[in-house]
A and B are shown apart, each in its own frame.
Chain A
Amino acid sequence: MFKGIFLGLLATGAMLSSQPIPARPEQLSFPPLTFAAPRTKDYVATLKNGIQVYLAADPQGVPFVRLKVLIKGGRYLEPKGKAGLAELTGSQWRLGGTLKTPAEQLDERLEFLAGSISSGLGDTSGSLDLQVMEKDLKEGLDLFMQVLLEPAFAEDRLVLAKQNALRSLQARNDQVPAIAGYQMGYLLNGEGHFTTAHMTAASLAAITREDLRAFQKRVLHPANLVVAVSGRFEKEAMLALLNRTLGALQPAREAQASPKVPVPDGVRTPGIYVVDKDVPQSMVQLAIPGLRRTDPDWHAVVVMNQILGGSGFTSRLMKKLRSDEGLTYGVGTGFSPGTYWKGDFTCSLQTKNRSVAYALDLILKDIDRIKREPVSDEELKVIQDGIVLAFPSDWSNRQAVATRFASEQLAGWPVDWWADYREKIQAVTKAEVQRVAQTYLDANRAVILVVGKAGEAEAGDEKDHPGLLKDVTKLPLKRLPLRDPLTLQPLP
């Protein structure tokens, strides 16, 4: 069969190879590629108890079925003194077995079927996931429903999970990114917010199997669930199956629709904060208050961010800090979409201790420049074209689209927000880029964190780029102590 094709090819090949190769890639021309943004209505259905399901049926595809039940609920619902409960409930929901099928039997059966069920809960949401071969769907879904509705939270598995959790607590100060993670959280959201109510050895010890049960029962409410399902099935048959299973779920007495996610109090103290850690390379992070994705400024902010630092090698910061100066393997910026409260502009890089002051100075200069001067026509066009033309590859995998729609619904984003995304990106002007830079890049409001060898970072690079860290900005410089990994109390 292939033989015929190859013969044909050779003939065309001989013809085409006489075409000259243009001197520059801009001289190439390409056939148009049209792509319509996927719409929610083509994916969504509602089960009889009101749960929304996003389906991506692929009856000719590979013989798998993947089911994801997204759950609104997580760390923000933990009672005081029980930090870690969401994480443990999330993992043990599946790993602790079910009332009918003990953990060991469940592990064995799923792995024999080459399938999997997994579960987890994060800050504000989590999920239970099933993957099985199409032929095992009935058995797989039965096991999945057992896990969802009747988890056993086996005591011996909980002991093991607590040992694992203790191990990860012990590693809290081992790596610079982990230290920066918890320190930046305290600086941005304060001590009282759920995002900084981290697990400690004491809170871990206080968590009981009863707590896990109660937490699971609380969040298992149809109002908290959104479903995505993809793989080899017929849409109607799958809907009928889901209606018999997930659609039959009624809220138990203990179940509650998860409340609103609490917002941090907003009190921050701008400054440069330095945490001492004996490593040859520091992590530098910077955060400035930003906006939510639903803000009308968002599209201009996306373009501005990509020009400044959010598009890898094409962004100004990467060109300056990596290509020109060899200061870092990578520097990047981003605006978080602010699901429940306004997000932040963040910038992060790692550089040798003595280069910290110089690198930070260069970053702040570029932040200043994008506020002061309009970007070039070419910079604007490269970023706009790139976002618009890459859109099809971001949105063409139907399985990923179903999951994305489901997560967006759970988080409460507007339906079909992406439908006119390309048009809005294309409409952003140079003046808007400059205006949003001025609005959202107020360096006087920056919280800057350096984790590394403090003395070296503060002294700067006296030989090649002299300048002390404290002189890079007018913001005050303050040393912060590491925290005890098990209690999170500041160390002396």
Chain B
Amino acid sequence: MIHRNARSLAVASMAVAVLSAQTIPVQEHTLSNGMRVLLVERHDEPTIAAGWVARVGSANEHPGMTGIAHLFEHMMFKGTLTIGTRDARRDAELNVAQDQVQVQIRQELDVLREKQRRGEIADLMDPKARTPRLQRLLGEFDGLVKEQRALIVKDELDKLYKQAGARGMNANTTSDRTFYHIDVPANKLELWAWLESDRLKNAVFREFYSERDVVLEERRLRTDATPTGKAFEAFQALLWKAVPYTWPVIGWISDITQLNREQANAFFATYYAPNNLTAILVGDFQSAEALPLLERYFGRIPANPKGVPQVITQEPPQIAEQRMSVEVEANPMLVAAYKAVPGVHKDAAALDVLGAVLNGQSGRLHKSLVLNQKLATSAGAELNGMKFGGIFYLEAMPVPERQPEDVEPALYAEVEKLAREGVSEHELQKVKNQVQAEAFTRMENTGRLRDALAEAEGAGTYRDYLEETARLQAVTNEDVQRVARTYFTKENRNVMLVHRKATPQGGK
């Protein structure tokens, strides 16, 4: 209640021009099957930034099937009963046949897993460790794939969009939501509605098993073949004890290699029902024409009266500081991660302001650690407010002659000072000026606005995004001081020290 009063005060004190620029004209609508729709018209360029978000991510997984939310995202590009095949019936038969062979393959992998458990082989996925039966089954499976390939119209979804002049077809998965987006020419809205509602209604997860290999390559690219990838993955697992953020979004290798189509089908039925989705259009269209079109196409997807299982588990309070020290081929770095709050929590705005006071060329961290004490080459702070929890990160890169340990006390001293003394009037005003400027940029780019609305819908509602400026403007010095005292405690802290591993070819 206090917040609401503060907010209306802040809004009232702003100039009229400012107010009109901040008001993003979002039209909200719910289709007959429960799917939400957000529309923002913007007519200066002949394109539409389109997308839809599913409120599901890796936090909805469990051990043994980690990575399915992300692999599933890949599968949504593999076609439908109509798109991607020349013979839907034979295609379906081949999928069934493939799944049957995969059941047998998994039985063999169970045998190999037991051997690995007993130390008889090092890695059950090593081709050299295959049993003769497994080798034969893989050959049999390969034959079925080749037969199916003759019927497949490769990547037809991409082709149809590309030929229509659409750009940037992609999707991404986080712990909390999965987001599918594309920019289409203004006259191609119906094509988008056709293709997207078709894959939500009639998806077929063909080429499932080879896509696991693609994801393994993606995992190598992002995590295994980068110097700090595995360190950050381990740090993440250290941070979270109970909330399902402990495993990486891309999944553990052991799980990715065993995911199967039956799991994908069940996942789809549970989490991709229309009442768990929001579609977003930003750009050059008329709402009066778009809404009936969306109802006609997306409204045909059957609702799921059962609803979606909630994520129940909550993080127990951390009882002690946790520390991790790692040597990798990377420049030294210190990361201090404090357990904080979800992005929609009422304290998030104050933590964002606190971060903004610390950041920037004229922020406290740069002035103190970089310019005055000459301990670090750079330093930063940021709240990562996710759906079921949040982390406030402090980071610093020591100067070449220093180690991560050397910058640690100086970093903590800055947040302790904030808790003790708060922020100055001038610093607070600077942050608020930046917030105000940022609010103007929100309408500038259709793609960015679409993405921001989708992000907000994934974690709460789009109103959280629209009201963010006012929430930030309402933050007081007392708020900043209070959240600094509440969250920046030693037992709430997790620290990763990154040291450079000595190699003949590495930096010193």
Residues of A within 8 A of B (CB): 2, 5, 8-9, 12-17, 19, 21-25, 28, 30-33, 35, 61-64, 95, 104, 107-108, 110-115, 133, 156, 160, 163-164, 166-167, 169-176, 279-281, 311-314, 318-319, 322-329, 350-352, 381-383, 385-386, 388-394, 396-397, 461-464, 482, 484-486, 491
- Cross-chain contact B217 with A25 (CB below 8 angstroms): no
- Cross-chain contact B165 with A385 (CB below 8 angstroms): yes
- Cross-chain contact B400 with A393 (CB below 8 angstroms): no
Which residue from chain B places its CB closest to the CB of A326 in the assembled complex? B213
- Cross-chain contact B370 with A160 (CB below 8 angstroms): yes
Contacts of B227 in A (CB 8 A): 174-175
Contacts of A2 in B (CB 8 A): 27
Given A62-B441, A173-B506, A388-B165, the answer on whether A324 and B210 have CB atoms closer than 8 Å is yes
- Cross-chain contact A171 with B330 (CB below 8 angstroms): yes
Kindly identify, within residues 202 to 254 of chain B, every residue whose CB is under 8 Å from any CB belonging to chain A: 207, 210-214, 216-218, 220-221, 224-227
- Cross-chain contact B220 with A350 (CB below 8 angstroms): yes
Contacts of B300 in A (CB 8 A): 21
- Cross-chain contact A329 with B361 (CB below 8 angstroms): no
**Distance in angstroms between the alpha carbons of A355 and B154 in the assembled complex:** 22
**Distance in angstroms between the alpha carbons of A381 and B162 in the assembled complex:** 11
Given A9-B291, A112-B433, A397-B45, the answer on whether A33 and B507 have CB atoms closer than 8 Å is no
Q: How far is the CB of A65 from chain B (nearest CB, A)?
A: 12
Which residue from chain B places its CB closest to the CB of A170 in the assembled complex? B507
Given A170-B331, A312-B158, A329-B214, the answer on whether A156 and B371 have CB atoms closer than 8 Å is yes
**Distance in angstroms between the alpha carbons of A485 and B506 in the assembled complex:** 7
**Distance in angstroms between the alpha carbons of A396 and B440 in the assembled complex:** 20
Contacts of B437 in A (CB 8 A): 64, 114-115, 133
Assess whether B504 is interfacial by the CB under 8 Å rule.
yes
- Cross-chain contact A12 with B292 (CB below 8 angstroms): yes
Given A104-B362, A171-B330, A323-B207, the answer on whether A463 and B378 have CB atoms closer than 8 Å is no
- Cross-chain contact B185 with A281 (CB below 8 angstroms): no
Chain B 140-164 per-residue mask, 1 if CB under 8 angstroms from chain A, else 0: 0000000001000011001110111
**Distance in angstroms between the alpha carbons of A328 and B213 in the assembled complex:** 8
**Distance in angstroms between the alpha carbons of A113 and B218 in the assembled complex:** 42
Kindly identify, within residues 433 to 491 of chain B, every residue whose CB is under 8 Å from any CB belonging to chain A: 433-434, 436-438, 440-441, 443-444
Q: How far is the CB of B153 from chain A (nearest CB, A)?
A: 10
Given A30-B190, A163-B377, A352-B220, the answer on whether A385 and B214 have CB atoms closer than 8 Å is no
Sort A-B residue pairs by CB-CB distance and give the 7 closest, nearest first: A170-B507, A389-B165, A326-B213, A13-B292, A114-B437, A463-B127, A313-B158
Contacts of A35 in B (CB 8 A): 46
Which residue from chain B places its CB closest to the CB of A201 in the assembled complex? B508
Assess whether B118 is interfacial by the CB under 8 Å rule.
no
- Cross-chain contact A386 with B165 (CB below 8 angstroms): yes
Q: How far is the CB of B28 from chain A (nearest CB, A)?
A: 10
- Cross-chain contact A33 with B217 (CB below 8 angstroms): no
Count of chain B residues with Cβ under 8 Å from any Cβ of A?
A: 97
- Cross-chain contact A12 with B288 (CB below 8 angstroms): yes
Which residue from chain A places its CB closest to the CB of B195 in the assembled complex? A25
Residues of B within 8 A of A (CB): 17, 21, 27, 44-47, 77, 82-83, 127-128, 130, 149, 154-155, 158-160, 162-167, 169, 183, 185-188, 190-191, 194-195, 198, 207, 210-214, 216-218, 220-221, 224-227, 287-289, 291-293, 295-297, 299-300, 329-331, 360-363, 367, 370-371, 374, 377-378, 397, 399-400, 426, 429-430, 433-434, 436-438, 440-441, 443-444, 500, 503-508
- Cross-chain contact B378 with A164 (CB below 8 angstroms): yes
Checking A33, A167, A172, A393 against B183 with a beta-carbon cut-off of 8 angstroms, the contacting residue is A393
**Distance in angstroms between the alpha carbons of A55 and B415 in the assembled complex:** 45
**Distance in angstroms between the alpha carbons of A393 and B182 in the assembled complex:** 12
Q: How far is the CB of A380 from chain B (nearest CB, A)?
A: 11
Q: How far is the CB of A336 from chain B (nearest CB, A)?
A: 21
Given A28-B190, A323-B155, A393-B46, the answer on whether A167 and B331 have CB atoms closer than 8 Å is yes
- Cross-chain contact A173 with B221 (CB below 8 angstroms): no
- Cross-chain contact B210 with A381 (CB below 8 angstroms): no
- Cross-chain contact B211 with A326 (CB below 8 angstroms): yes
- Cross-chain contact A323 with B162 (CB below 8 angstroms): no
- Cross-chain contact B46 with A396 (CB below 8 angstroms): yes
**Distance in angstroms between the alpha carbons of A327 and B217 in the assembled complex:** 7
Given A114-B437, A329-B221, the answer on whether A164 and B295 have CB atoms closer than 8 Å is no
Tally inter-chain residue pairs, CB-CB below 8 A.
Answer: 247
- Cross-chain contact A171 with B507 (CB below 8 angstroms): yes
Contacts of B164 in A (CB 8 A): 385-386, 389
Given A17-B299, A163-B400, A326-B217, the answer on whether A176 and B225 have CB atoms closer than 8 Å is yes
Checking B158, B210, B360, B434 against A314 with a beta-carbon cut-off of 8 angstroms, the contacting residue is B158
**Distance in angstroms between the alpha carbons of A453 and B216 in the assembled complex:** 17
- Cross-chain contact B429 with A482 (CB below 8 angstroms): no
Which residue from chain A places its CB closest to the CB of B299 in the assembled complex? A17
Checking B160, B221, B367 against A25 with a beta-carbon cut-off of 8 angstroms, the contacting residue is B160
Given A156-B371, A312-B158, the answer on whether A63 and B166 have CB atoms closer than 8 Å is no
- Cross-chain contact B214 with A30 (CB below 8 angstroms): no
**Distance in angstroms between the alpha carbons of A5 and B287 in the assembled complex:** 9
- Cross-chain contact B504 with A491 (CB below 8 angstroms): yes
- Cross-chain contact B331 with A328 (CB below 8 angstroms): no
Contacts of B210 in A (CB 8 A): 323-326
Checking A8, A64, A110, A163 against B399 with a beta-carbon cut-off of 8 angstroms, the contacting residue is A163
Checking B191, B296, B430, B444 against A112 with a beta-carbon cut-off of 8 angstroms, the contacting residue is B430
Contacts of A110 in B (CB 8 A): 361-362
Having A111-B430, A167-B400, one finds 7 other A-B pairs with CB under 8 Å, namely A15-B292, A17-B295, A25-B194, A30-B188, A325-B210, A396-B44, A463-B127
Given A9-B288, A160-B377, the answer on whether A17 and B296 have CB atoms closer than 8 Å is yes
Which residue from chain B places its CB closest to the CB of A169 in the assembled complex? B507
Point out which of A115, A313, A461, A482 has the most chain B C-beta atoms below 10 A from its C-beta.
A313
Point out which of B130, B225, B293 has the most chain A C-beta atoms below 10 A from its C-beta.
B225
Q: How far is the CB of A310 from chain B (nearest CB, A)?
A: 11
